[in-house]
Amino acid sequence: MKPAENGLSDHLTMRGLSRRFGSFTALDAVSLSIRKGEFVCLLGPSGCGKTTLLRLIAGLDLPDAGSIALQARDITRAAPAQRDYGIVFQSYALFPNLSVADNIAYGLKPRHERQRHRLRVRELLDMVGLPGAEDKYPAQLSGGQQQRVALARALATSPGLLLLDEPLSALDARVRDRLREELKGLQQRLGVTTLMVTHDQEEALAIADRVVVMNAGRIEQIGTPAEIYRQPCSRFVAEFVGEANWLPATTSGVQEVRVGNHQLRLDAALPPAPALQLFLRPEDVIIKPRWENAPNTVLARVDNISFGGALTRIRLLPEGMPGQVLYAEVCPGMLDRQPLVPGEIVPVELPAARLLAFAGDLPC
C-alpha cells in the first residue's frame, strides 16, 4: 500500500523555493510535499535543479525565496545539524583515515558511550550486509561496500529524513542493480522518509513511490512511476522518460488524427493545435499474426530485427506514412509463435488506448 493510501501526514514540505546564481535561475518557485515514510525520486537531466533542491533541504545552501518545513517545523534557515537528516553522496565521502566502525559512529553522541556505539555499528553493518567489517578501512573496500558504509553512517542517528544524492551512479551496473533492490528493501523496513536525486530513469521508476520530474528549475510532473511512464503530462516528460515512437499528425476529428494516408483514433483528448505529434511506447505497438480491417491497423515492412535479450526490437516502415519509422519491442515467446524476417509485410496495430498526442513539431 502506498503512503498516500495510509493517510499519512506530510513529513517534508517546500513552498515556492527559488534559487538564483547571478542571472541563472536554478530553482523557480518549486513547491513539493513528501509524506512520512515515502520514497521520492527527483529525476531530471543535468542542470535541472534537482541537486540544488537537495542542498537547500540539507541546509548546505539557502534559498532566495520560499520556505522548507520538516514535520511542520520551519527549517528554511536552520543549520544542517538542526534538520534531523542523514545524507549519502555519490562520492561516498568516507574518512580514509578512520575505520569502518569509526566512520559509522562519527555522528553518534555522547562520545564516551563507546559500548553502545559499538552495538549500534554492529547492528547497522548487519543491516547493510557488511557484518564483521568494523576494523576495515575504506581503501580495503569495493565501491559497493563503501556505499553501504556511507548508508550505514547516514542511518546511524536514526534520522527522520534520508537524503541520497545520486548514491548509485558511480557503481558498475550489476552492483548498482543489487544495491538498488537492497536500498528499497531497507527503506521499507525502516519506514524512513527518503528523497533521492537521480538522472537514471530506470532507477527512479524501479525504486520510488513517487517520481518528481524536473526541468529548467521547475517541476514538470509528479506521479507514481506508472503514471510518469504511462501518462506523461508534458512533451518534456514524454521525451525524457523511456523510449517512444513519434509520428507527425494533423487533427481530423474530435479524437481523430491523420498520419500520412491513415486515419487514427485516440482515446485521449487532443490538444487544441492543428499540428500534432503522436506518442506511442515501442512495447505498445502490436504486430498481428494476420491482416484484419480494424481501426488503427496499418501494414508495415519489417526493416530490421535486433535481439536484446528479454526484448527484441523490431524496426518497421509503415506503408502510407512516407519517411516514418516505428519501433516495436516484443518478447521471445511472441517471435517463437510468429517468426519475423526482414522484408516481410506485417499488420501492425497502434492501440487507441495507448496513443497520446502533443502539440508541436518533432521532438529534439
Q: Are 261 and 320 in contact (CB under 8 A)?
A: yes
Q: Is 295 within the bounds of a domain?
A: yes
Q: 227 and 254: one domain?
A: no
| 215, 239, 263 - which closes a domain | 239
Query: Across the strands, what pairs with 301?
Result: 317, 345
pLDDT digits (tens, 9 = 90+) for 108-163: 877 678 889 999 999 999 999 999 999 999 999 998 899 999 999 999 999 999 99
Of 130, 164, 159, 162, which Cα lies nearest the Cα of 146?
A: 130
Q: 186 and 252: one domain?
A: no
The C-alpha cell at 287 is: 504486430
Q: What is the pLDDT of residue 364?
A: 37
Q: How many CB atoms lie within 10 A of CB 285?
A: 22
Q: Are 222 and 32 in contact (CB under 8 A)?
A: yes
Q: 272 and 305: one domain?
A: yes
Of 173, 170, 206, which Cα lies nearest the Cα of 43?
A: 206
- In the predicted model, what is the mean pLDDT of residues 277-302? 95
Q: Is 196 within the bounds of a domain?
A: yes
Q: Are 120 and 108 in contact (CB under 8 A)?
A: yes
Q: Is 225 within the bounds of a domain?
A: yes
CATH number at residue 274: 2.40.50.100
Q: 230 and 301: one domain?
A: no
Q: Comparing 32-46, 71-85, 328-342, which segment has the lowest mean pLDDT?
A: 328-342
Q: 309 and 201: one domain?
A: no
Q: What is the pLDDT of residue 5?
A: 45
Of 262, 271, 333, which Cα lies nearest the Cα of 293?
A: 262
d(CA 263, CA 251): 10
State residue 171 phi and psi, 5-degree precision: -100, 155
Q: Is 228 within the bounds of a domain?
A: yes
Q: 30 and 162: one domain?
A: yes
The C-alpha cell at 247 is: 509520428
pLDDT digits (tens, 9 = 90+) for 158-170: 999 999 999 888 7
d(CA 119, CA 126): 11
Q: 50 and 127: one domain?
A: yes
| 188, 207, 239 - which closes a domain | 239
Cell 535543479, residue located? 49
Q: 178 and 201: one domain?
A: yes
Q: Is 171 within the bounds of a domain?
A: yes
Q: 281 and 150: one domain?
A: no
Q: 258 and 148: one domain?
A: no
Of 151, 142, 155, 153, which Cα lies nearest the Cα of 103?
A: 153
Q: 327 and 300: one domain?
A: yes
Q: Is 364 within the bounds of a domain?
A: no
Q: 353 and 301: one domain?
A: yes
Report which of residues 173 and 187 the model is more confident about: 187
Q: Indicate if the pLDDT at residue 6 is higher than 70.
A: no
Q: Indicate if the pLDDT at residue 2 is higher than 60.
A: no
Q: Is 51 within the bounds of a domain?
A: yes
Give the structural domain span for 271: 243-359
Q: Is 102 within the bounds of a domain?
A: yes
- Total tally of structural domains belonging to the chain: 2
Q: Indicate if the pLDDT at residue 15 is higher than 90.
A: yes
- In the predicted model, what is the mean pLDDT of residues 181-206? 93
State residue 55 phi and psi, 5-degree precision: -65, -35
Q: What is the pLDDT of residue 361?
A: 60
CATH number at residue 190: 3.40.50.300
d(CA 172, CA 252): 49
d(CA 232, CA 228): 5
| 182, 207, 239 - which closes a domain | 239
